[in-house]
Amino acid sequence: MTMWFFDDAEELEDYQIFLKKDQPLLLEYEKLRKALRAAETALQEHPEDKEREGRVAQIKETISALEQRAPWLTFDYPVEYLLWGPPHG
């Protein structure tokens, strides 16, 4: 018996298809969130810099567009758990 639910699941193939399709989107989202955090930190150090303000606004717009395209990015639980996790109860 393995430790992970996904190792024994019949839906493992569906899960792998999901990862191949949506994992690049998740990685891009995480990269943008890290870039936003760095840009906001840089803006706090130099609040008068308009270029940094523009960079922060641009990243926020990109993140917003990504969240509209894939709303599951903002869920409290990982979408893998919601789709293939054991039922509650």
Pick the closest to residue 69 from 38, 32, 15, 16 (CA basis). Answer: 32
Distance CA 7, CA 9 (A): 6
Report yes or no on 88 lying in a domain: no
pLDDT on residue 1: 45
Count: domains in the chain: 1
Report yes or no on 89 lying in a domain: no
Report yes or no on 33 lying in a domain: yes
Q: Whole-structure pTM over 0.95, yes or no? A: no
Report yes or no on 31 lying in a domain: yes
Distance CA 30, CA 73 (A): 10
Report yes or no on 43 lying in a domain: yes
pLDDT digits (tens, 9 = 90+) for 38-72: 999 999 999 999 999 999 999 999 999 999 998 88
* Domain carrying residue 56: 14-78
Report yes or no on 9 lying in a domain: no
Q: How far is CA 9 from the centre of its chain?
A: 24
> Which pLDDT band, with edges at 50, 70 and 90, does 36 fall under?
very high
